[in-house]
Every structure is written in structure tokens, then in C-alpha cells.
Amino acid sequence: MDISKKMHAEQSNKKLFEQAKNYAFDYSNSIAERHVFPSNKAISDLIQFNEDMPSHSGNSSDILEQLHRLGSPATTAHTGGRYFGFVTGGVLPVTLATKWLTDFWDQNTALQVMSPITSKLEEICERWLQQLLGLPESTVAGFVSGSSSAIFCGLAAARLRIYQNLGWDFNKQGHNGAPPVRIIAGQDIHGAVIKAVALLGFGLDNIEWVAGDDQGRIDTTQIPQLDNSCIVMLQAGNVNSGAFDPFDDICDQANAVGAWVHIDGAFGLWAAGTERLKHLTKGVHKAHSWSVDGHKTLNTPYDSGILLCRDKEALITALQASGAYLTSSYSDNRDGMLYTPEMSRRARAVELWAALKYLGKSGVDALVFGLHERAVQFAQELNAVGFSIINDVVFNQVLVSPSEEDHVTQKLLETIQASGECWAGSSIWKGKKVIRISVCSWATSEQDISRSVKAFVDARNAISER
């Protein structure tokens, strides 16, 4: 059969989409009881994907069937309530349903003329986020794939502006012969920031590292004398402890001399949008750029990062290598590509809009504070059964130190992970291996926490019996 005829039939009779929907519901209905990490068999069965690329067009229904049979069991259960690995995030039902609908739209969000609806919703999200997070009115937003990309964009805007302050047109003149720019960063900064510093050509050896305190917060008293050649990288939410840097004072110092401050708030910046946790982000509005994920704390589907920047001109000039927007060669409406490195982009802001519209301010507060409460519960229940918690649980991160000996911690962790009851990862904190728990999903209930604590206890018993 002619392939386009086949596709026309698939498009119109919709059976394929019914099949996908049934698999999706089957998956979601079983999520609470399935192993949080796939079984060894599910992983070894993936070998069945190893085949030469087919010579001929296949059968769509068979493709979906194979994906569900082999693929679904080899997923990690992020959307259940007991996945605490890395810092990830569940998915709000309304955002998932929105994604289904917009998948059928398949919009390209580069220019308003390519998709008026996604341009409009980017504009709305930009304004809502500025207001929710209490950022300056001039703040603009770029909707990118995640915080790694958002940090890169913020630092590119900073580079452009700081060089301009020093009388250097970076887009034209580049690094050769440029006056020195100083990068100031806390020693607990995230790897994504370090990567962006390297990618943008500043050189890791040129970072002026600032010591952190016992929670991984930058030590204000150790900040070097700042000047107008400085870019200061701070964080809202240490990826291990969840701690927030003291923004207020450092931003005041930076603003007094014309330095730029970027805040990596991948999961923690949402605290600024909550009544009950916003004290953690005091002074955050005094920075120049911020990066945050929709796909972590806010629980939108993946592939949703946001760069917020108060200096629109610096951002656009850095990302477009031209000031073309000033001459209005684009439309009067919002052209999303001006604020991102990419041109073609999917309509990720629609899911973000759906999340914000659904939750409202009180819903954001309930979601974010709920993650915090579950983290506190986790820490308290673990503590009550003799596990030591080594961080102040200010947000959603809990660091557990089951043993002074790294190999014992590792053994315990592997036993917990293999139980399928819950999943947490490890990290190194102050030179010691620890178990890192991140409570990131709306779906995590009090019962999920207690059940996970029991998995910790069972694992400890299993090890000591051996």
C-alpha cells in the first residue's frame, strides 16, 4: 500500500490513537503498584529493540504494541508517588491532557505568524510568572528545554551586557583581546552552571570560587570585592540540601557597582511564588536573570525550562547576534524565538499556561508547600527510626547519612532501589556518600512517605541479617 494512503487512513480512522490511549490509561492505572525502578528482566528485554533499521514501512499498531509491551515496563515510575531520585517532578493531569491536545496542533513557536495561539500563551505565561515570582516589571521570558539551556541564555545575556559596560561589543569582537570578565560562584553551584561557564568561553580556571557554609549556601562574608566586570552566579535550591543563597545582601552589593547576578532556581525559585516559603527567596527580585524549570517543582511535562531576564535588550541581542528587534523587523506581537537560542520550538508554554491557570496562586502555594511538608515528614519518620538527617529540610530535599562508611551506605541504597518500593539516589556531601531524597511530585501522599520509610527500614534489616 502506498505509504501516504496508509497514513491518511490512520489519521482519519483514529484507531491508532485509541490504541495509544488505552495503553496510556493501562500504564497510568498501574503506576501506584508497579516497581518504581524497572525489574532486571524489563531492562534485559530491551535487547529486543536491537535490530537493523527496517527496509520497509511497518505496521503502526505493532509499533505501539511493542512500545507498550517492552517500553512501558522499562520506565521509571516518575508519575507515581514514590520516586525520589535526582530532582525530577511528576506531571499534573491538566498539563498531560493539554499536551495531548497540543500534540495534535504540532505548532512551531518561533514566530507569532507561525502560531498566534502559542505566541499569545507565551505572552501570558511571561506576565504571570513575573507577577507570581515578584520579579521586576521589565522581566521577559524565554521558553527553553530546561534549566541547563536557561542558565546558558542568562549567562549569554550577562556576558553581552557586562562587556558592553566595559566598552566591548562581544557579538562583533568576541573573546580575542577582550577585557577580563570575572565569574563569581559558590563552590556548591550546580554542574549545569559550570557547564554554561565553559560553553560560553569564560574558562573554568577563571571562576572565583566562594566558600559555602554547612548547608551549601554561599558565605556572604567571603564574596570578593565586586565591580562592573563581575557576573555572580547564585542558587535558589541547592541540588543536595535544598538550601537558598542569601540573595538580598549580595544583590545589593552587585547592584551598587553594576555587576550582574544570575540565580539558578531550577526547582527552588518556585518558593518565591508561595506565601509560606517565600522568605527563602528574600531579595531574589534584585537579580538580573533567573532560570527555573516547569518540569520539576511545577510538575509540567518534561522539556520545560524558563529563562527570565530583566534586561530584554541584552537577552535578545545576545541570542540573536543583532539588535534587529529594535527595527521591528518581526511583528508587534511576541515572537518567541527572540528570547531563545532555537528557532523552531514546540509549544511547551501551553502546558505551562495550563498548570498556572489550573493551580492559581493558592494552588501553587499548596503544591510547593505540600512537597515541603512531605519532605519534612520523610525526615522526621526516618529520624524516628534511627536514620540521621544531615541537612536542614528548608525545601523539598532530604539528605540521609545511614553510615559513616560509604560502602555501607551504598549497600543500603542498592537494597532500597532493588526493592521496587521507592527510588532515591546518592550524592556526595562534605566528602561523604549520602542518600539524597527529593520530593517533587504532587502525587506523593503521606502514605507514600511512610511506605518508603518502611522500605528503608526493611533494607537495613536485610543487610544486617546477611
Ligand X SMILES: *Cc1c(COP(=O)(O)O)cnc(C)c1O
Interacting residues with ligand X (CB under 6 A) = 87, 146-148, 190, 192, 235, 237, 239, 264, 266-267, 293, 305
Phi, psi of 241 (to 5 degrees): -90, -15
| Complex with ligand X: residue 291 or 415, whichever CB lies closer | 291
Residue 150 CB, shortest distance to ligand X, in Å, is: 8
Q: Report the alpha-carbon distance of residue 78 to residue 90 in Å, rounded.
A: 6
Exposed e or buried b for every residue in 76-100, given b needs 16+ CB within 10 A?
ebbbbbbbbbbbbbbbbebbbebbe
Hey, which residues does 175 pair with through a beta bridge?
none
| Complex with ligand X: residue 144 or 453, whichever CB lies closer | 144
| Complex with ligand X: residue 37 or 270, whichever CB lies closer | 270
Cell numbers at residue 311, please? 534586561
Residue 191 CB, shortest distance to ligand X, in Å, is: 8
| Complex with ligand X: residue 115 or 441, whichever CB lies closer | 441
Instruction: Provide the total of helices (H) and of strands (E) in the chain, helices listed first.
Output: 14, 11
Residue 306 CB, shortest distance to ligand X, in Å, is: 10
Look at residue 330 and give its three-state secondary structure. Answer: coil
Phi, psi of 393 (to 5 degrees): -85, 80
| Complex with ligand X: residue 267 or 429, whichever CB lies closer | 267
Residue 340 CB, shortest distance to ligand X, in Å, is: 14
Q: Report the alpha-carbon distance of residue 317 to residue 163 in Å, rounded.
A: 12
Following DSSP, what letter does each residue of 183-208 receive, concatenated? EEEETT--HHHHHHHHHTT--GGGEE
| Complex with ligand X: residue 293 or 311, whichever CB lies closer | 293
Phi, psi of 370 (to 5 degrees): -60, -40
Residue 270 CB, shortest distance to ligand X, in Å, is: 12
* C-alpha 90: how far from chain center: 11
Residue 163 CB, shortest distance to ligand X, in Å, is: 25
| Complex with ligand X: residue 116 or 341, whichever CB lies closer | 341
Following DSSP, what letter does each residue of 346-369 receive, concatenated? --HHHHHHHHHHHHHHHHHHHHHH
Residue 305 CB, shortest distance to ligand X, in Å, is: 5
| Complex with ligand X: residue 88 or 112, whichever CB lies closer | 88
Q: Decide: 81 and 448 in contact? Cβ < 8 Å.
A: yes
Residue 45 CB, shortest distance to ligand X, in Å, is: 28
Residue nearest to ligand X according to CB distances in the complex: 146
Following DSSP, what letter does each residue of 394-430 receive, concatenated? SSSEEEEE--SSHHHHHHHHHHHHHHSS-B-EEEEET
